[in-house]
Amino acid sequence: MRVIRCKDYHDMSRKAANIISAQVILKPDAILGLATGSSPIGTYQQLIDWYKKGDIDFSQVHTYNLDEYRGLTYEDPQSYHYFMRKNFFDSVNIDLANTHVPDGADSDIEHACTSYDAMVKAAGYVDLQLLGIGRNGHIGFNEPDEVFSKGTHCVDLTPSTIEANSRLFDSPDQVPRQAYTMGIQTIMHARRIILVASGTEKAQAVKDMIYGPVTPKVPASILQLHTNCTVVADAAALSLCPNS
């Protein structure tokens, strides 16, 4: 696991965007795994800026997002599909037919999960997976558990995750209690992984991810076993790590 130490959120976002843009430039038809939440927004903004300057072309790129709230349609302003369009897709020249997000409106859990897994597998898995990390060490919506998950599955969100995501809703009561999320095994199939982290509230999770034991109690700790994983984090997120 490689760690890139950054000065602040802006520096973190630019360095992560550098890695993603290099992937797309070297392989114009790259398959990207994308994440939502506040951590990657700056990375998407930087990629949009470079696209507008003519430095990067997304016309052949395919994307697969990690997760979606169960019960929300693509058009719902709180859905992650809507989030991706607002924060990235609508501002670059990506073909929306090549973008994929779990179908939160599919009430059939087994169908929603197996169909998404089939799509990711048929694509050959992703070239580069962008991840954030939750305060409890979750990646995607893979919450602390007794075992590492495999394929896409439906999860009950923990109180800490609901609280963290409530800033995007009018009240915590409006945050969905379940989500469809890509499993740990699927994430680990990515040929390269980039995890971004910012802020002191992520410091313990980052320390546990990098230096703690590999355990499903800290889902992100599995990344220690990936052959090509880079953590891009600011000083605050690395404040509990050695030599920070």
Q: Per this entry, what is the length of the chain? A: 244
> Distance between CA atoms of 127 and 234, rounded to whole angstroms?
24
Question: What are the catalytic residues?
Answer: 67, 136, 138, 143
> Distance between CA atoms of 187 and 146, rounded to whole angstroms?
18
Is residue 198 within 8 Å of residue 234, measured between CB atoms?
Answer: yes
> In the 8-state DSSP scheme, what is residue 219?
G
Place of tokens 């719902």: 76
- Contact partners, residue 75, CB within 8 Å, separation at least 6: 82
What's the chain's Rg over C-alpha atoms?
A: 17
